[in-house]
Amino acid sequence: MRPPVSFRSFNGATCRTHFYTILGAGGLLWMRLGPEGFRPKRRWGQNFLVDPAALQAIAAAFRPAPTDRVLEIGPGDGALTRRIAPRVFSLTAVEVDPELAASLRTSLEEVRIVEADVLALDPTALLRDAGASPGTPARLLGNLPYNIATAVILRFLNRHDLVRDLMVMVQREVAERILSAPHRKEFGSLSVLCRTFARVERVRRLRPGSFRPRPRVESEVIHLTLCDPGGAAGAEPDRFAAFVQGCFEQRRKTFQNNLARLLARSGGGADDRARAFLEAVGIAPRGRPEEVPPEGFQRLFEALEAERSGRAPAPSPPV
């Protein structure tokens, strides 16, 4: 054990403490500071990825190509941006923190920095500004702040016309929900929507020690390649998303109960109608929504939309 260290405090008193106390306090401060002494702001989920091997692996998995129009969300201090920008046609980055946006503007001249809250922007205008068009859809990249990750994914998920793929870092639990199969407790509306509008793959798990400051949770990078599901879900993606979210509002109730509640908003006899619709598309009315694969939700939505638009009669209620 090293002997105690003496030092003079701010009020002139002599203090004695142990070498390891000082070392521990220094370490704690180091973990709380971001890169180059920048003081991270918790409200914007600023946990910076500082592990060079992890950054390199994400950049390699992204496979940047000279024709890519990339939209990065939350570039932070530009650790990932710097690795991708020189290898693509263009990179537009949206950063909410004015301090970081200003510093990126001076250090990364070839990158277009948009200083804004990404959720406050119109996604179509943003994608077009980033160079996306139906012939050259953009590629999305982002170590997303945990608190807005789901909202960001849902915002771009049904834009296969202007987005080719998303490589995003999310909290591990969110990745589990996105990747989950039916019958698991993680399976819910996010799983159904991601699997309807994309092909989803795991890329890499990231330990808290790879970040500064260190987050309390584990993270995972996932890759979503967007596709057009076709049918009613493809034609009315926003209505489909609202419908799927409605089906999971009361997870412990049967699918029939959940659907009846949704149908009741548009007329009476909801219980019988719900059961008839579910039976017509091969879903057990007394089962739970988490037992139904994404294709089941698509079939059910197709039938409901066909009736709503007058293209098909409602299935006959059970006798």
Q: Which residues bind ligand SAM (CB under 6 A)?
A: 44-49, 73-76, 79-80, 94-97, 100, 117-119, 143, 145, 148
End-to-end CA, the chain: 83
Residue with tokens 């170590």: 143
Instruction: Taking the CA atoms of 192, 125, 149 and 259 in sequence, report the sign of the dihedral they define.
Output: negative
Q: What is the DSSP string of 61-76?
A: HH---TT-EEEEE--T
Measured from the CB atom, is 46 or 92 closer to ligand SAM?
46
Measured from the CB atom, is 94 or 167 closer to ligand SAM?
94
Measured from the CB atom, is 116 or 235 closer to ligand SAM?
116
What minimum distance in Å lies between the beta carbon of 28 and ligand SAM?
20
Residue among 248, 109, 239, 253 at smallest CA distance from 192? 248
Tell how strand 69-73 and strand 138-143 pair up: parallel
What minimum distance in Å lies between the beta carbon of 109 and ligand SAM?
18
What minimum distance in Å lies between the beta carbon of 47 and ligand SAM?
5
Tell how strand 163-171 and strand 90-95 pair up: unpaired
What minimum distance in Å lies between the beta carbon of 286 and ligand SAM?
42
Measured from the CB atom, is 73 or 300 closer to ligand SAM?
73
Structure tokens at 309: 């638009």
CB 73 within 8 A of CB 140: yes
Tell how strand 138-143 and strand 163-171 pair up: parallel
Please confirm whether the linkage preceding 52 is cis (ω < 30° from 0). no
What minimum distance in Å lies between the beta carbon of 274 and ligand SAM?
38
What minimum distance in Å lies between the beta carbon of 182 and ligand SAM?
31
Residue with tokens 């006899």: 269
| Nearest residue to ligand SAM on Cβ basis | 74
Measured from the CB atom, is 183 or 214 closer to ligand SAM?
214
Measured from the CB atom, is 54 or 304 closer to ligand SAM?
54
